[in-house]
Amino acid sequence: MIRNRLTVLACMAVIVTLLAFAHGAPALAQGGSGRLVVYSAAPLDFAESLKRAFEALHPGTTVEIVNPGGAEAIIAKLAAERHNPQADVFHSGAVFEFLVAAKMGLLARTDPAVIAPDLPQALEIAGARIPLYDEEGRWYVWGFSLGVIGYNERRLEQLGLPVPRRWQDLADPRYRGQIVFNMPQQSSSAFNTLVAHYQMFGEEGVWELWDAIDRNIAFYTPSTGALYSLVARGEVPISFGTARNYYVNRAEGHAVNVVYPEEGAWVFATAVGIVEGAKNRELAEAFVRFVLSPEGQVHAANHFQNPIRKGIQATAHSVDLSVEYVENTVPKIVVVDSALAEEIREEVMRRFDRYTSR
| Domains identified in the chain and CATH numbers | 28-144+268-307 (3.40.190.10), 145-267+331-356 (3.40.190.10)
* The pLDDT of residue 21: 33
Residue 235 to residue 35: CA distance in whole angstroms: 46
**What's the mean pLDDT in 52-81?**
96
Of 307, 287, 349, 320, nearest in space to 65 by CA: 287
pLDDT at 311 over 70: yes
Of 180, 146, 148, 144, nearest in space to 164 by CA: 148
Residue 297 to residue 313: CA distance in whole angstroms: 9
- The CA-based angle 185-223-211, given to 5 degrees, is 50
Confidence category of residue 188, pLDDT binned at 50, 70, 90: confident
Residue 131 to residue 116: CA distance in whole angstroms: 13
Any residues with CB less than 8 A from the CB of 309 and at least 6 apart, and which? 119, 294, 297, 323
pLDDT at 328 over 70: yes
Higher pLDDT among residues 336 and 30, named by residue: 336
Parallel, antiparallel, or unpaired for β 306-307 and 140-152?
Answer: antiparallel
Any residues with CB less than 8 A from the CB of 325 and at least 6 apart, and which? none
* Cβ 36 vs Cβ 284: under 8 Å: yes
Instruction: Indicate the residue type of 89.
Output: V
Any residues with CB less than 8 A from the CB of 152 and at least 6 apart, and which? 231, 232, 234, 237, 238, 254, 255, 256
pLDDT at 1 over 50: no
Residue 68 carries which DSSP code?
A: S
Residue 128 to residue 237: CA distance in whole angstroms: 30
Using DSSP's 3-state secondary structure scheme, residue 173 falls into helix
Helix axes 44-57, 281-292, angle to 10 degrees: 110
* Torsion sign over Cα 61, 294, 42, 30: positive
Residue 19 to residue 25: CA distance in whole angstroms: 9
Higher pLDDT among residues 29 and 334, named by residue: 334
Q: How many angstroms separate the Cα of 252 from the Cα of each of 82, 233, 237? A: 40, 11, 17
**What's the mean pLDDT in 127-137?**
96
* The pLDDT of residue 32: 36
pLDDT at 12 over 50: no
* The pLDDT of residue 358: 76
**What's the mean pLDDT in 176-197?**
95
Using DSSP's 3-state secondary structure scheme, residue 320 falls into coil
* Cβ 167 vs Cβ 151: under 8 Å: no
- With 0-12 / 13-18 / 19 or more C-beta atoms within 10 angstroms meaning exposed / middle / buried, residue 86 is middle
* The pLDDT of residue 156: 98
Higher pLDDT among residues 26 and 114, named by residue: 114
Residue 219 to residue 208: CA distance in whole angstroms: 19
Residue 264 to residue 280: CA distance in whole angstroms: 41
* Cβ 242 vs Cβ 146: under 8 Å: yes
* Cβ 290 vs Cβ 119: under 8 Å: no
Residue 128 to residue 327: CA distance in whole angstroms: 11
* The pLDDT of residue 2: 34
pLDDT per residue over 247-283, tens digit each? 999 999 999 999 999 999 999 999 999 999 999 999 9
Residue 325 carries which DSSP code?
A: H
Q: To the nearest whole number, what is the mean pLDDT of the chain?
A: 91
Helix (H) or strand (E) holding 119: none
